[in-house]
Structure 1
């Protein structure tokens, strides 16, 4: 008979025998197979190590997280920087509509004697980017599953280098449209893989910071684009729009070098059964210090935890296809992720995307419009950094819910001022948009990236994020269709009254949040898996006690063959001293 004891270091003579209970529960499976005793002991070691690592992760202070995982922070920042390019180009195209040189080259003469890009072409160009991203996202999910995050991103950056040539040498709007579709495809990979990687290489205490850093990259790209355009605001030269296109070539090569040197996601490696490589990857993410004198022990424990989490999820949903995101409990998780991201696009952020054009429609000069845009993105950057401090005191749900509530009020005020025709009202609208940008980037803007990475299961994380982002892109197509008509003087000419429209969506989004968006702060991936598996109500997530990596429950699900397989895969990866209070005796 196998005896497995948990030793109390203060009273070594005391011990609790777990095998008797397990034998009673597993008589039909294991009782008549003595060789299983050793497998059971080792499996209990795996479970205990995973639980100990879970406890350490949940209680790890921020300072210790930074000291233990500084390289994880560095690699995550390098990969996420790819998003700067997308933020840059998205603002570039929207702002070009207000650039005289661009309008004269590609636009038509309007009733007031100035050149303008027709509403149908503004719609078409904006839609092209979203269509390309939708195609690229689905492709990225399939490719990344096969070759990993790093090589998928490197290949995407290579495509970006080539596709920029199309925009730079574009002769007409049709050629620009082709270039935007093609560029949207590699951007799709940036949108999802950077978020997945950030969430999978860092501990819980760093997850919010590294996933929301993606939002900072977006803003940095927008800020750089606005600064470049500001310098060419009064220029009639073709270089006013060609130079901003050409500047995109400066990003891909240095980012590719950084990604090549980065370790692959250990979660992806475990999912592919490459356990030894996962350990090497984890070793490159962890730094030894006085609290972690031997990182190999932590590496083994983290590897065991990732394996157990992967096996638990595989027992619930065996497949890892896009269709599996809509099966069982994963449908709820996919739905929440999609809504969280879609609400970003349906609650007034479109006004920020068209900010330069909007300011001019509100009565400001071209020079003042670009100045307001730069100030707007600086406030967005400050807001995102501010969200890091807010997140230490307030949960994800509260940040998102109250952010939507505040946006509703601000958008109503924008609409009210849009009903007035005065210079003071125009400046008031500009000021409210600045406040709106700060509020957005303090709340739903950054926290969204954390939520979409936390909500899905580990095995389906990348594909779930892709689906969520593509629903967001569909909403972006809706924005691309409707916004030019709302703002264009030759179309609906709603101007700032557009605020009323988006306020309605923001209010409905806040209502949805209350009923379906759970609180994920302080929860490990394993805990979130358990909460969703047990169908806990959204408002009960924060107060529900959770037991993870329960050996008895996992053994029941795995059976004899599954238990043997798990032990063989992790042979030597545990029971080496991570949980120093555990002792095995045959």
Structure 2
């Protein structure tokens, strides 16, 4: 855990005020900062999606570029889980069974699948310190360099132990990418674009998985070791072009404000916006809004360490973010990750199993755009998440009942199971899989956002480890051999997620970060978030912000 001294840089209010005075020719008073912040917040609330795209086209482009780092993780995760149904991979790294076929033993399947998750846990905790200290850009660039070096372990692996080492060591930068991409997207765009750019990360997951499964399928006719070494070698195609582009990207203006670099924050904001504007955009007003929100959070949240995520109102926010991410796995996602292996064990040929998997991953990408469409017509994040979980629960139970199909109709049952998995993937991507990324970026405070998301993603990884231990044993014919009956287990777990979501998950759609801070501070019920009116520039909130400005012991806004 980083110390407060290392992790917190004071932001002088005087610096913010003098910057406003230089640009506006006015007195840099708290009242001016307050007035500018309110003007910027009003403009964001009234901004339409089209206006946001016209004003922030560069922010959209940079966010999309940085989110592409997630493609690398999606690609590798799809390789390792789908190689279990790959004959050449099993012959190299598996053991011979009594019927003469080869299988990677269930314990090693679990170990390999969990290797990346273990590395990601370390990477995520490092991210909480590295990104706040060095900024988003340099943290990503360092991660890409690390990844370039350790991809060689996959390419040269001669035994399953080397593969495991590669998964763990490459998992460290993947863990960094998992949260940095989301926090960067949420900080460089206005409210009108926030839900779309944060959920685009899920499209990148689907794209990486689709490319991975496509590469494996193209290697089915090869009989040598290059059939699995070439897919691993293709991981080297990502880091260099991404590194060059990210080096030129602007830093998050929110991060710069938290560090007291007000002038740099304004320059970064101008690099993210366009002169083609219909909303009356003013960079100084937007910077003032960032200073105002930082001041409000400084009053509500008295520190910025991991321990502070479990204090006061932030405990509730941390819990919700952690559960929103954990429920991605608890709703049956790990079951879906083994789709080719599962379908092969259910009776489909290897080529048909991979074809169904490609359809599933194509749905993963298309589903993201479907979720965007649902959000654009005003359907809230909470509604999408809750409805999606209900659909997933039903699909999992149906897959379980398909296990009752008699052996004489096994092929028809297998095809029905494959079709149901594609329907499951559609429900997942239209709701839980996509909306989660928007929820976790919106429900944490700016000051603790990276650390809260790190904790949430780490719970996701811990749950993934548990699921990755259970799932191979459920499906492997040399272990429990549950087959379709695993659907009953995950359906029951998914029902518990439905109950939690109904009572605990709030609706953040259309709310500014400051409004969400006040709603959590007042202890508003999750079911009343959407209907509760709140004025972040009212007298009560203004007092909190001014107190933060005039803090006796520091006279500073703390990051």
Structures share fold, TM-score greater than 0.5: yes
Alignment pair present for 1:399 and 2:387 = no
Alignment pair present for 1:412 and 2:397 = yes
User: For residue 268 of structure 1, what is the aligned residue in structure 2?
Assistant: 255
Contact 1:267 1:278 in 2 (8 A): yes
* Cα shift readout 1:215-256 (whole Å, capped 9, x = no counterpart): 000000000001000111232210110000000000011111
Deviates more, 1:240-249 or 1:555-564: 555-564
Cα distance between partner residues in 1 of 2:326 and 2:544: 39
Cα distance between partner residues in 2 of 1:461 and 1:389: 27
User: For residue 106 of structure 2, what is the aligned residue in structure 1?
Assistant: 119
Q: How many Å apart are 1:351 and its aligned residue?
A: 2.0
The structure whose Rg is larger is 1
Alignment pair present for 1:201 and 2:193 = no
Cα distance between partner residues in 1 of 2:540 and 2:443: 26
* Paired residue total: 529
In the alignment, which of 259, 279, 285 is matched to residue 301 of structure 1?
A: 285
Distance 1:375-1:441 versus aligned 2 partners, 3 A rule: same
In the alignment, which of 509, 523, 533 is matched to residue 535 of structure 1?
A: 523
In the alignment, which of 447, 450, 455 is matched to residue 438 of structure 2?
A: 450
Alignment pair present for 1:244 and 2:231 = yes
Q: How many Å apart are 1:39 and its aligned residue?
A: 11
User: For residue 328 of structure 2, what is the aligned residue in structure 1?
Assistant: 344
User: For residue 140 of structure 1, what is the aligned residue in structure 2?
Assistant: 127
Distance 1:557-1:81 versus aligned 2 partners, 3 A rule: closer
Cα distance between partner residues in 2 of 1:424 and 1:394: 37
Contact 1:44 1:551 in 2 (8 A): no
User: For residue 441 of structure 1, what is the aligned residue in structure 2?
Assistant: 429
Contact 1:77 1:213 in 2 (8 A): yes
Q: How many Å apart are 1:318 and its aligned residue?
A: 2.1
User: For residue 311 of structure 1, what is the aligned residue in structure 2?
Assistant: 295
Unaligned runs of 5+ in 1: 1-37, 570-586
In the alignment, which of 43, 55, 79 is matched to residue 30 of structure 2?
A: 43
Alignment pair present for 1:478 and 2:463 = no
- Structure 1 length as normaliser, TM-score? 0.88
Cα distance between partner residues in 1 of 2:195 and 2:414: 37
User: For residue 508 of structure 1, what is the aligned residue in structure 2?
Assistant: 496
Q: Secondary structure at the match of 1:337?
A: helix
User: For residue 169 of structure 1, what is the aligned residue in structure 2?
Assistant: 156
Q: How many Å apart are 1:196 and its aligned residue?
A: 0.2
Alignment pair present for 1:547 and 2:535 = yes
Cα distance between partner residues in 2 of 1:522 and 1:502: 33
Q: How many Å apart are 1:558 and its aligned residue?
A: 3.8
Q: How many Å apart are 1:495 and its aligned residue?
A: 0.6
Alignment pair present for 1:223 and 2:227 = no
Cα distance between partner residues in 2 of 1:564 and 1:276: 25
Aligned alpha-carbon RMSD (Å): 1.9
User: For residue 335 of structure 1, what is the aligned residue in structure 2?
Assistant: 319
Q: How many Å apart are 1:155 and its aligned residue?
A: 0.4
- Structure 2 length as normaliser, TM-score? 0.92
* Cα shift readout 1:501-537 (whole Å, capped 9, x = no counterpart): 1111111111111111001111111110110011111
In the alignment, which of 422, 426, 447 is matched to residue 414 of structure 2?
A: 426
Unaligned runs of 5+ in 2: 1-24
Cα distance between partner residues in 2 of 1:338 and 1:408: 20
Deviates more, 1:71-80 or 1:255-264: 255-264
User: For residue 140 of structure 2, what is the aligned residue in structure 1?
Assistant: 153
Contact 1:322 1:463 in 2 (8 A): yes
